[in-house]
Amino acid sequence: MLQKELKVRKTIVLIDDDHDDHEIFTMALDQLDEAIECIYYDSAREAFQAFTEETITAADYIFLDLNMPGMSGMQFLENMQKHYSQLPIPVIVYSTSMLPSNKSKVLELGATDFFIKPHSHKELIQILKALLISNN
């Protein structure tokens, strides 16, 4: 069973304005390990405010969508780099954008990884498993 492979409780922050993507993401996490806590923000501005108030500085990972109204994922990364670059939280961008320039820009802004939102639930589980286990 996949749950035994993760072993360590993790807290993941998901920043994505698409509620369907949130549901699919949390279902995939539950299949990997039900002990993973997922804190969800549907706006980058709200998530950045939570960092300002120090309510989520203990997260193990941040998964960030790029295309959001108000503050984009790119703007979130710029603000994090400017104000919280000392936080050792890996930011993994996942987006529908396939532009190579977006990938290079987010990595330049401090993201640790970038992947295209997969089309299948099974593929998402495989990607999350690889990311979470390789970073243990």
Per-residue pLDDT reduced to its tens digit, 36-90: 889 999 999 999 998 877 766 678 899 999 999 999 999 999 998 888 777 788 9
**Helix or strand holding residue 113 (H, E):** strand 113-116
Tell me which amino acid residue 72 is: S
Residue 13's pLDDT is: 94
Determine whether 78 is exposed, middle or buried from the number of CB atoms within 10 Å of its CB (0-12, 13-18, 19+). middle
Residue 8's pLDDT is: 57
CATH topology of domain 18-121: Rossmann fold (3.40.50)
Domain range annotation of the chain: 18-121
What dihedral angle (degrees, nearest 10) is formed by the CA atoms of 18, 10, 87, 135? -100
Q: Flag whether pLDDT at 10 surpasses 60.
A: yes
